Amino acid sequence: MRNIIISVVFIFCVQSCSEDLLNTYPEATKVTSQFYQDAQQIEQAVNSVYGSLQYDGQYNLAMPAIGEIPSDNTYDEVPANDSFTYGEFDFFTIQPNNSLIASTWKDTYVGIQQANIILNRIGGISDMDDQLKNTRIGEIKFLRALMYFNLVRIFGDVPLVTKETTDVNQFFGQGRTPANEVYTFIEAELKESITLLPNTTPQKGRVTKGAALGILAKVLITKGKFSEALPYLSQVINLGYSLQTDVTKIFDVNNKNNSEIIFDVQFASGINGNSEGSNAYQMFMPSGVVSGAKGHNIPTKEIYNLYTNGDKRRDAFIALTSNGVPYTKKLVKTSNVIADGGSNIVVLRLADVYLLLAECYAEGNDYVNANFYLNQVKTRAGINPVNLTTKQTLLNEIDLERRKELVSEGHRWFDLLRTGKAISVMTAHFANTPGYSTAKIHTHNLLMPVPQTQINTDPAIKQNNGY
């Protein structure tokens, strides 16, 4: 892990002239031994942690792709592009040398190291107001917990590094931390961040209490702790968020950071030499939509056909090329430079919280509240509400609504994992979908392979079974 968790230089970011939006474009390269001297430098460093979420191995490409392509929601239209990197997820032939897997590990640990440095040094900054300092600590603890949550869901056991690393040799030979210990750490970090974060902030894109409450609940649900998650979700809905009445406005680039968005990763076109946009639009559009599109992570015809007549979400979320190939409308072309997209990547929004609430209530046999929150999402979509009276019918309906509501947002694969349905659902999907006669999912595919570069660097880091 020498090239992952240790770095003597980091890119730090500053705010643009806009006072109400958190922007994270690089200003300069800083040497850590000469930095973190005052409040201004800490602020730049905090923004650099937000900036790490924009990396390919985090929310620019990896989380939307890994969260969808292995599932029945999306597929790889042109596997030959990018050396079959994305096609491997589609057919469960993922190799330890997969470049997206390598970027996921590397880029996430770079962000974690940046977070560790700040948490190690912020206490000694004398010119920073205590309240602001606590807020920033809450933000960084949330971001570090979010990054570990992503790692543990993807790889299982991962090295748990919680202190600033100044000597890489300290970490050789320690191997991977058991996933349960990582989850315990994540829960503790998020609970502490909740006590430190404000309900709102004038800077769009910064973490607030609602994000920490919602992600903590998702962590607990992932571990099957539905009753524990319920009060955290209930707190989120009392913080002033509201569903957009028009589903076409949720992902409108002229309506970013709207009332439904609880936390998202910020991107913008035309900044810093067109380097601060996302190339997700280029990577995740069919080749027929725009020149240069790569055809990865394309919605399946199955998900397109799931929407019933009158469901406003189908045409709001998915369109068809002239050849009938579906593509997501949650990413928008905002620049003549195709790799400079301005669509934010949503991590958590209120509709997700409502559906998680419905699931928790259903698991607790409270069918009245389960139907209520499920119907909040259905009604907004323009479809008839339901009144389901058994746990399994409710859970099935919630699962269906999560597919339709959150398609292309990077949730479906992780939903299949936490509900234990991944193998049965994907086996059926392969059997019923032309072109997948050779595809097969095995138990070991429920975790992704550890990048071979990490094992080569430190043999104490062992490969996941089956790879």
The enclosing domain of 371 has a CATH number of 1.25.40.390
Looking at residue 108, its pLDDT comes to 98
In a domain, 318, yes or no: yes
Amino acid at 334: T
To the nearest 10 degrees (0 to 180), the angle between helices 350-363 and 391-406 is 170
User: What's the pLDDT tens digit per position in 141-179?
Assistant: 999 999 999 999 999 999 999 998 877 777 788 899 999
**DSSP state letter for 448:** P
Longest dimension (CA), the chain: 64
Check if the beta carbon of residue 263 is closer than 8 Å to that of residue 348.
Answer: yes
- Model pLDDT for residues 401-446, shown as the tens digit of each residue: 999 999 999 999 999 999 999 999 999 999 999 999 999 999 999 9
pLDDT in tens, 29-55: 455 666 788 899 999 999 999 999 999
Tell the burial category of 253 from Cβ atoms under 10 Å away from its Cβ (0-12, 13-18, 19+). middle
Judged against a pLDDT cut of 90, whether residue 5 lies above it is answered with: no
| Domain count within the chain | 1
The SS3 of residue 326 is: strand
pLDDT band at residue 25 using 50, 70 and 90 as cut-offs:
very low
Q: With respect to residue 332, please indicate whether it lies within any of the assigned structural domains.
A: no
pLDDT score, position 275 = 74
Q: Is residue 462 in some structural domain?
A: no
Full residue range of the structural domain in which residue 346 is found = 2-327+339-434
Q: Looking at the domain assignment, is residue 449 inside a domain?
A: no
Q: Are 191 and 229 in contact (CB under 8 A)?
A: no
| Residue 209 falls inside a structural domain | yes
Q: Residue 17: pLDDT above 80?
A: no
At residue 9, does pLDDT exceed 60? no
- C-alpha distances (whole Å) from 365 to each of 218, 309, 356, 371 are 19, 30, 14, 11
Q: 217-253: per-residue pLDDT in tens?
A: 999 999 999 999 999 999 999 999 999 999 999 999 9
Q: Do the domain assignments include residue 226? A: yes
Tell me if 450 is assigned to some domain.
Answer: no
At residue 279 the predicted structure's pLDDT band, cuts being 50, 70 and 90, is: very high
pLDDT tens digits for range 73-131: 999 999 999 999 999 999 999 999 999 999 999 999 999 999 999 999 999 999 999 99
pLDDT of residue 289: 87
pLDDT at position 272, please? 79
Is the pLDDT at 63 greater than 70? The verdict is yes
Mean pLDDT of the chain: 92
**The predicted structure's pLDDT at residue 262:** 98
Both tokens assigned to 278:
């996302």
Residue 34 pLDDT = 65
In percent, the amount of the chain with pLDDT more than 70 equals 93
Question: Which residue type does 181 have?
Answer: E
Q: What number is the average pLDDT over the span 1-19?
A: 33
pLDDT at 344: 97
Does any domain span residue 465?
Answer: no
Residue 22 has what pLDDT? 56
Amino acid at 374: L
- How high is the pLDDT of residue 186? 98
pLDDT at residue 20 is higher than 80: no
Residue carrying the six token digits 């903590």: 216
- What is the percent of the chain with per-residue pLDDT over 90, rounded to a whole number? 86
Query: Average pLDDT of 3-23?
Result: 36
Q: Has residue 184 got a pLDDT over 50?
A: yes
pLDDT for residue 274: 78
Question: What does the pLDDT read at residue 241?
Answer: 98
User: Reduced to 3 states, what is the DSSP secondary structure of residue 238?
Assistant: coil
Q: What is the pLDDT of residue 456?
A: 96
